[in-house]
Structure 1
Amino acid sequence: MTTTTAIPTASPGLTPARVLHAEWHKLRTLRSTWWTLGLSIALVVGVGLMMGSTYDGDDANIDTVVFTLFGTQLSQICVAVLGILITASEYSTGLVRATMTAVPRRLPVLWAKAAVFTASAFTVTFATNVVTFLLAQIWLSDTDKALTLTDSGVLGALAGNAAGITLLSLIALGLGALCRSVPAAIGAFVGTVMILPEVLQMIDNDTVRSAVAYFPSKSAESLGSIIPVADHNSAATGLVSLIVWAALVLAAAGLLLKRRDV
């Protein structure tokens, strides 16, 4: 006598739109979402106001958008942590079992998380960048850093900065799914994405330095400036590089998600 084990299949009423809606509901109802995004906004706006109100001409060689958005160097950590929490925290709370029971094919969950997070992170970051730039210009309007949103390259740099932070944080989301642990994923992100390129850049080797320019953090730095950044790839190359990195990490996360037990 043989027995068969039923393989769970998705509910007939389960559609990509419903999976997206479920992940959007999770994101907006988590307190960590509001705390991390709120802190991110506060850092960017606060530092931007400080930079604008204290400018005395000493930093005339710094790109205006880079100058006003200096706070994003800190805020990107907050957004990255949110990306990690979206995936890794479900394993620590046990929610992942309910999620995968509802969506047995698993991969739609990861793609929905990535899509919802990407749209939310970019929208919030770009809006914050625009507001911070306009507020900083209250003090910078009579200086050599006076610019408007309609000036050439300004909106592109503001959007590029937001895209860079979003894609870096999407990599963090993928690391969260790979590590299935919030502390481990944060350590992996800080160690490999933020610290490793800085260490490698100290090596006196042209090949290594050229390769480092394609690393995620360096690619992101090339996106948020009106003028090309020295020793970095072009903004277009940086964007493509970041997209490839994010796609590779998410693909690896998707492969392991299908192969590993919950």
Structure 2
Amino acid sequence: MLNLLRAEWTKLRSTSSFWWNSGLILAFSAVFGALMGYGARMAGKPFGPLTIAASVVMIDMIIVIVQSAMTVTTEYRFGIPATNFRIAPKRWQVAVAKLLLGAALAALVTALGLVVAFVCYDLAAPVASNWLSTSAAHRALWAMPLGMALVTLFTQGVGWLARNTAGTIVIMIVMMLLVETLAALIPRIGADVVKYLPFGNLLSFMNNQEGSWSIGVSLLVFTVWAVAAWVAGVVALEARDA
């Protein structure tokens, strides 16, 4: 497994997309943090650390989805999986290595992005956010990276099923931005359906705001979705031709 992790890291760090996506997370975090600090200066009303983190994490989530999809699906474009599975016949081990590496990196870059956002906000705002001593910021610094690790799990599962980068990204973003909004409009049962869907529950957990469920149950709902997608993806990976 260690050799597979090293191999996946070598492949990942040799691609420009990984560095671009990581850089974009940090850049957008800096820009959003600075803009919110400037907005606080203009309005004369400071923003809390959780508001800053919640604003940054939405754009970061899209980038994490893109990177997680590409980690799995780009190789199919170039016919690399056949080579991978000749070297590592236990395909599930390749999937685990990609997951562990992708989830760890998504969590790390997200945490760094939040720190950058807090620092840039404090530089631009008239009143500092006090993120170093605020419990809401401390929670965001572990809850949001954990959420991004689970997004990686979900996206890679969909990626193994779709085996196409564009398809995986579209599925994930449509689920995040459209499906739950439309589901809420279903007469009579809309509210009951939405509370079992993934992304609203993920945001409730990351933002520490109870919705239809408690914070812990919201995390569990998203985790079930993510694990189910990943397991289904690995089952498909084992069953299909390389």
TM-score, normalized by the shorter chain, greater than 0.5: yes
Report the CA distance shift for 1:140/1:65 in structure 2 as closer, same or farther (over 3 A): farther
Distance 1:20 1:84 in 2: 18
More helix by share: 2
| Cα distance, 1:232 vs structure 2 | 4.8
Gaps of 5+ in 1: 1-15
Q: Contact 1:83–1:169 (CA<8 Å) still a contact in 2?
A: yes
Distance 1:141 1:58 in 2: 8
Is 1:223 matched up with 2:205?
A: yes
Distance 1:140 1:204 in 2: 44
Is 1:258 matched up with 2:238?
A: yes
TM-score, length-scaled by structure 1: 0.83
- Paired residues, what number? 241
The equivalent of 1:7 in structure 2 is none
Distance 2:197 2:51 in 1: 20
Gaps of 5+ in 2: none
Q: Contact 2:73–2:159 (CA<8 Å) still a contact in 1?
A: yes
Distance 2:135 2:154 in 1: 30
Distance 1:201 1:253 in 2: 28
- Among 98, 115, 123, the residue aligned to 2:108: 123
Deviations 1:207-245 (A, max 9, x none): 4324423422112211333x525x353332222222222
- Among 124, 133, 136, the residue aligned to 1:150: 133
Larger Rg: 1
Deviations 1:29-58 (A, max 9, x none): 111111112112211221111011221448
More displaced 10-residue stretch of structure 1: 250-259 or 71-80: 71-80
Is 1:101 matched up with 2:82?
A: no
Deviations 1:148-187 (A, max 9, x none): 3222232112322222233223211211111011121122
| Cα distance, 1:117 vs structure 2 | 0.3
| Cα distance, 1:141 vs structure 2 | 5.8
- Among 208, 215, 222, the residue aligned to 1:235: 215
Deviations 1:102-134 (A, max 9, x none): 111111000110010001110111121122113
Written as runs of structure 1 = structure 2, the 5 A alignment for 1:1-262 is 16-55=1-40, 56-57=42-43, 64-140=49-125, 142=127, 146-205=129-188, 207-225=189-207, 228-229=209-210, 231-262=211-242
Which amino acid in structure 1 is aligned with residue 203 of structure 2? E
Deviations 1:11-32 (A, max 9, x none): xxxxx11111111211221111
Distance 2:137 2:213 in 1: 19
Query: Percent identity over the alignment?
Result: 25
TM-score, length-scaled by structure 2: 0.89
RMSD, matched Cα: 2.2
Secondary structure at 2:55 match in 1: coil
Report the CA distance shift for 1:59/1:242 in structure 2 as closer, same or farther (over 3 A): farther
